């Protein structure tokens, strides 16, 4: 008679149990796929930027960096549109309602994107002068991708809300790969900063086409008309403000550096920001998976404490590990990658890493409060973004001072959250055993 096999005990058994649970978790699998796609997307963006830096030099790269930062200020708040749509779609159980919302959203996004693009073109000269951009062609090329960014963010929201993380990952990866693949021949052809920025417009078009293909079952089939879904405009406005505030908190420093510093110094700062902000982008997949899952639990009357704790822990571990790596980057490696003009960027990397670690955690909290339709935390981030601009305007003695102000503002948001807000990590840890119980 064979002896009964006992379950593994001790640390080894616990480790196997944890690994088994991770492998069986749909959220972990989705997060892993999105993490790989996000790494591909941001890795492609880095290759694109390195190509621009190496070919254009610090002064001309400052033009590209400034226009990309302005584009980020416009496009990153669209993440709130993506978040709102993902949350609403995740809570819908009616295929007809999803299809109708998709068609209406695409029409509105196309209209808004076109208006924003034309407005940018009309203001091209003031934008060029404020950011010390070399030519109108460079500014126009930088603004030309707004339309596709607006439409793409809308379609991302539907892929995310429908939990089609594989298709969303494919769009991220393939759209990202298009940038370095196109920018190298463009730069070799002598099209300069304007050509490099126009590549982003083409990549945006590719992303929209891939999203449309991924949602073709909703876009091409005819569904019976159902009662239209009306989003809370006040809520959406607050979420847009919160996302704009976060975009400002993580990008306005590059614009202000371009405004206050000479072109070569601004270019060095932008290169340091490019490397340092990898800390913000590496854990981005966590937030992408977090929102629809948190929204689904909240809609079911459950709390999202365990999801928040796991997301915050994963984000912090990834970000702080990347920060440690940045702090140890040798100067010679940066010079080898970017050229001798960027030697002074080395001393900024560790500070950027700390600032973006704090910002990455702020982004996790934003997703949870968006899922709960709570406007208070987005407004706190808005206040921090305003303080950041005022403080940089008052104190910009050198590039490091700007990074330190960003770090102080993001850290202050986290501290205030721990003191005042309901999803403070210490409260979430104490309440983790209640996660399976109905909220309220």
pLDDT digits (tens, 9 = 90+) for 228-250: 556 666 667 777 788 888 989 99
∠ Cα 203 206 207 (to 5°)? 90
Give CA–CA dist 247/266, Å, rounded.
19
**pTM for the full predicted model:** 0.73
Residues in contact with 393: Cβ distance below 8 Å, sequence separation at least 6, in sequence order: 256
pLDDT digits (tens, 9 = 90+) for 156-200: 999 988 888 888 889 988 999 999 999 999 999 999 999 999 999
pLDDT digits (tens, 9 = 90+) for 256-268: 998 899 888 888 8
Residue 278 half-sphere exposure toward CB, CA atoms < 13 A: 24
Share of the chain above pLDDT 70, in %: 80
Give CA–CA dist 153/55, Å, rounded.
31
Residue 440: pLDDT above 50? Answer: no
- Tally the residues of the chain: 440
Give CA–CA dist 388/410, Å, rounded.
9
pLDDT digits (tens, 9 = 90+) for 43-77: 888 899 889 988 888 778 889 989 998 888 887 77
Q: How far is CA 308 from CA 66, 285, 416, in A?
A: 34, 14, 17
Residue 44: name the closest of 177, 163, 144 by CA.
Answer: 177
The angle, 0 to 180 degrees and rounded to 10, between the axes of the packed helices 146-161 and 95-122 is 160
**What pLDDT, on a 0 to 100 scale, did the predictor assign at position 19?**
46
192: part of which helix (H) or strand (E)? helix 192-214
Decide if 138 contacts 258 (C-beta within 8 A). no
* Domain spans in the chain, listed from the N-terminal domain onward: 27-431
Q: How far is CA 268 from CA 98, 194, 261, in A?
A: 46, 20, 10
**What pLDDT, on a 0 to 100 scale, did the predictor assign at position 252?**
92
Q: Is 167 exposed, middle or buried (0-12, 13-18, 19+ CB in 10 A)?
A: middle
């Amino acid at each position: 008679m064979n002896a009964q096999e006992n379950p593994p005990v001790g640390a080894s058994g616990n480790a196997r149990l944890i690994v088994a649970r991770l492998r069986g978790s749909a959220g972990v699998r989705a997060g892993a796929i999105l993490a790989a796609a996000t790494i591909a997307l941001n890795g492609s963006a880095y290759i694109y930027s390195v190509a621009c830096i190496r070919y254009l030099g610090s002064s001309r790269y400052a033009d590209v960096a400034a226009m990309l930062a302005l584009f980020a200020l416009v496009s990153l708040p669209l993440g709130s549109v993506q978040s709102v749509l993902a949350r609403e779609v995740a809570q819908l159980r009616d295929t007809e309602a999803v299809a109708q919302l998709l068609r209406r959203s695409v029409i509105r996004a196309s209209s808004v994107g076109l208006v924003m693009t034309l407005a940018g073109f009309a203001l091209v000269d003031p934008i060029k002068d404020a950011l010390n951009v070399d030519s109108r062609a460079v500014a126009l090329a930088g603004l030309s991708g707004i339309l596709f960014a607006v439409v793409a963010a809308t379609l991302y929201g539907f892929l995310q809300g429908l939990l089609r993380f594989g298709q969303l990952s494919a769009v991220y990866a393939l759209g990202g790969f298009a940038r370095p693949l196109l920018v190298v021949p463009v730069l070799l052809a002598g099209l300069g900063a304007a050509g490099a920025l126009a590549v982003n417009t083409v990549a945006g078009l590719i992303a929209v086409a891939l999203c449309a293909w991924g949602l073709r079952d909703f876009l091409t089939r005819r569904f019976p008309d159902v009662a239209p879904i009306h989003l809370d405009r006040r809520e959406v406005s607050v979420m847009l403000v919160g996302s704009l505030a976060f975009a400002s908190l993580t990008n306005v420093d590059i614009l202000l550096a371009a405004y206050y510093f000479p072109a070569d110094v601004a270019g060095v700062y932008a290169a340091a920001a490019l490397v340092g902000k990898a800390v913000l982008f590496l854990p981005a997949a966590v937030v992408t998976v977090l929102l629809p899952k948190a929204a689904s639990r909240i809609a079911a009357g459950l709390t999202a404490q365990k999801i928040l704790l796991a997301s915050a822990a994963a984000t912090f571990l990834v970000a702080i590990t990347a920060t440690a790596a940045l702090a140890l980057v040798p100067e010679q490696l940066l010079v080898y990658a970017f050229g001798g003009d960027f030697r002074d960027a080395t001393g900024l990397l560790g500070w950027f890493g700390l600032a973006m670690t704090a910002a990455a955690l702020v982004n996790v909290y934003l997703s949870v409060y968006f899922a709960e339709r709570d406007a208070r935390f987005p407004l706190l981030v808005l206040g921090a973004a305003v303080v950041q601009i005022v403080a940089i305007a008052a104190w910009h003695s050198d590039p490091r001072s700007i990074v330190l102000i960003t770090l102080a503002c993001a850290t202050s948001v986290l501290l205030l959250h721990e003191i005042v807000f309901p999803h403070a990590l210490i409260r979430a840890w104490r309440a983790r055993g209640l996660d399976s119980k109905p909220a309220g």
